A and B are shown apart, each in its own frame.
Chain A
Amino acid sequence: MSDVSIIGIGKTDVGEHWNTSVRHLSWYAIEAALDDAATTDVDALYVGNMLAGRLSQQDHLGALVADFAGLRGVEAVTVEAADASGGAAMRQAVLAVKSGLVRTAMVVGVEKVTDETGSAVIAELATGLDADYELIHGLTAAGAAALLMRRYMHDYGVQLDDFAAFSVNAHGNGADNPEAMFRNRLAAERFATAPVVAEPVSLFDMAPLADGAAAVIVTDAERAMDMAPKPVQVVASTLATDTIALHDRREVLWLAAAAQSAEKAMSMAGIAPHDVDVFELHDAYTILAALSLEACGFAPRGQGWHLARDGEIGRQGSIPISTFGGLKARGNPLGATGVYQIVEVAQQLRGEAGACQVPGAQIGMAQNLGMAGGTAVTHILRADFSGNLEFSGK
């Protein structure tokens, strides 16, 4: 069994790409990753996507994207796990390389949400909920987050304003990321004036849906040393599931899949939470940021928001999160989000994060959730260039 390393990364701007289709978004990210890896040698392609079949009437993305990315003929499939599709696709690529059956695998996460607008997009996104027992009652993704947030505030005596620091941090980091959708800083005082989407969730609590694509190339670690000056090692890859519906959970305020996948990943990597230098978590809603920090062992139950309040989630804090803006400010291109997280963590570990750089980051974690945590995918990456100081190309 060989170890797995990342040798190439690429991504598009996140935002409204009115002139660009699913296939072209995918190609731009793939092209960037191939350039970065200085190779065209890819044996398999895993496409993470949630809604192309519904919003663009385009399924069968594996073959389509392979064709338009100049990879015609390679093994290619789509991986779907709601907005954890990108993380799940990454997981498949790692499994493939680790098994030895695939030498070099490409992951591309892509989402094109602006082919539809308004209530149509809200309805399609809500297909990630339980159709027979949640969606039929008019629940939305934001509504599910709101049910969590209301109960959290009730049980732990938390105020609406207490969530503001998550969004202020995300926007502050997004302002430094040229690919982010939102590059404006948020003032905490304005939080209370934001339009309400699903009470108590306001626009300032939720990430904007957006178009985007990101790509990652992985291969076995030994080969990676010869191919890339700064290969980033994938030291853990896990995926766990929980009930989709909140009403089926034993403990509504505990993200069991997030906890299970994080615990297993940290044990695989042989690290503890305090070893993590940068954490790209799934802040589709501020409440999910708080609950993820708790599930992954960075804060006791009911106290995830303390880390935001106390400035611990900033670049200089004990657990920097959303370092490129997170879903909140970089934007949430659903099935692509999990791959953006991987690309961003790799940039941090290579020391190539520009103004978003967390100084000296050596170990990074990415956790991608499907809706309110029905799926949780955790990857832990490690900078390991020690043997590569004399890298001289292929």
Chain B
Amino acid sequence: MQVSRHWRLKSERYKLVGETCDSCGVKLFPPRDVCLACEAPAKELYTFTGFGEIYSYTTIYDPPAGFEHNAPYTVALIKLEEGPLVTAQLTDMDDEEVRIGMPVEMVTRKLRSEGEEGMIVYGYKFRPAVPVQELSAA
């Protein structure tokens, strides 16, 4: 079942909580306590805005066990606006064509489930970013 394995990552998975480096200001996701840029300690928590753009992407037709139900699905490298890349699935794409450079935003979705009775793992996925004017009109 491995509940604890997923539980301990909840603030990362639900809120994109990473870290920031005191010395050089670089933001880290996933958190690793040591700055990737300057190797200084980086333990101060930082919550990412969840906005970014697509750096690369792939649609997976041969899924691993546990992911068969939603294949084909698209996994992307997202460049967050604060700098780091993150690996995540794209969702809510409707008929939009995925492209490198496309603006996206983080949402929380089901990542995988383990059968009818099993644990459901939630976490971040990314969808096309809703333009600001559409938000204010609504």
Residues of chain B at the chain A interface (Cβ within 8 Å): 5, 9, 30, 36, 55-68, 70, 73, 75-77, 84-89, 100, 111-112, 121, 123
Given A246-B77, A246-B85, A138:B60 Cβ within 8 A: yes
A123: contacting residue among B57, B66, B77, B89, CB under 8 A: B66
Residues of chain A at the chain B interface (Cβ within 8 Å): 119-120, 122-123, 126, 132-140, 142-143, 146-148, 150-151, 154, 195-201, 245-248, 250, 252
Once bound together, how far apart are the Cα atoms of A142 and B87, in whole Å? 14
Is the beta-carbon distance between A133 and B56 smaller than 8 angstroms?
Answer: no
Is the beta-carbon distance between A136 and B121 smaller than 8 angstroms?
Answer: yes
Chain A residues with CB below 8 A from B85, complex form: 246-248, 252
Once bound together, how far apart are the Cα atoms of A147 and B85, in whole Å? 12
Chain B residues with CB below 8 A from A252, complex form: 55-56, 77, 85
Once bound together, how far apart are the Cα atoms of A143 and B89, in whole Å? 12
**Can you list 28 contacts pairing A with B, beta carbon distance less than 8 Å?**
A119-B63, A120-B65, A123-B65, A126-B64, A132-B9, A133-B30, A133-B86, A136-B112, A137-B75, A139-B60, A139-B75, A140-B62, A142-B60, A143-B60, A147-B56, A147-B58, A147-B75, A196-B59, A197-B61, A198-B60, A199-B58, A199-B59, A245-B87, A246-B77, A247-B77, A250-B36, A252-B55, A252-B77
Once bound together, how far apart are the Cα atoms of A195 and B59, in whole Å? 13
A150: contacting residue among B56, B112, B123, CB under 8 A: B56
Is the beta-carbon distance between B87 and A247 smaller than 8 angstroms?
Answer: yes
16 new A-B contacts, CB < 8 A, other than A138-B64, A147-B75, A151-B55, are A119-B63, A132-B30, A137-B111, A138-B73, A138-B89, A139-B87, A142-B60, A143-B75, A197-B60, A197-B61, A198-B59, A198-B61, A198-B62, A199-B58, A200-B58, A252-B56
CB distance from B89 to the nearest CB of A (A): 6
Chain B residues with CB below 8 A from A147, complex form: 56-58, 75-77
Chain A residues with CB below 8 A from B89, complex form: 137-138
Least CB separation from B8: chain A residue: A132
Least CB separation from B64: chain A residue: A123
CB distance from B34 to the nearest CB of A (A): 12
CB distance from A180 to the nearest CB of B (A): 23
Once bound together, how far apart are the Cα atoms of A148 and B58, in whole Å? 9
Least CB separation from A152: chain B residue: B56
CB distance from A80 to the nearest CB of B (A): 19
Chain A residues with CB below 8 A from B86, complex form: 133, 247
Once bound together, how far apart are the Cα atoms of A184 and B97, in whole Å? 37
Once bound together, how far apart are the Cα atoms of A201 and B100, in whole Å? 17
Interface centre among B55, B58, B75, B121 (most CB of A within 10 A): B58
Chain A residues with CB below 8 A from B67, complex form: 119, 138
CB distance from A245 to the nearest CB of B (A): 7
CB distance from B8 to the nearest CB of A (A): 9
Is the beta-carbon distance between A136 and B61 smaller than 8 angstroms?
Answer: no
Is the beta-carbon distance between B75 and A138 smaller than 8 angstroms?
Answer: yes
Once bound together, how far apart are the Cα atoms of A370 and B62, in whole Å? 20
Least CB separation from A195: chain B residue: B61
Chain B residues with CB below 8 A from A201, complex form: 58
CB distance from B55 to the nearest CB of A (A): 7
- Per CB-CB distance, the 6 closest pairs between chain A and chain B, nearest first, are A146-B58, A123-B64, A247-B85, A151-B56, A123-B65, A119-B65
Least CB separation from A154: chain B residue: B100
CB distance from A322 to the nearest CB of B (A): 23
Once bound together, how far apart are the Cα atoms of A65 and B93, in whole Å? 51
CB distance from A335 to the nearest CB of B (A): 19
A199: contacting residue among B61, B65, B123, CB under 8 A: B61
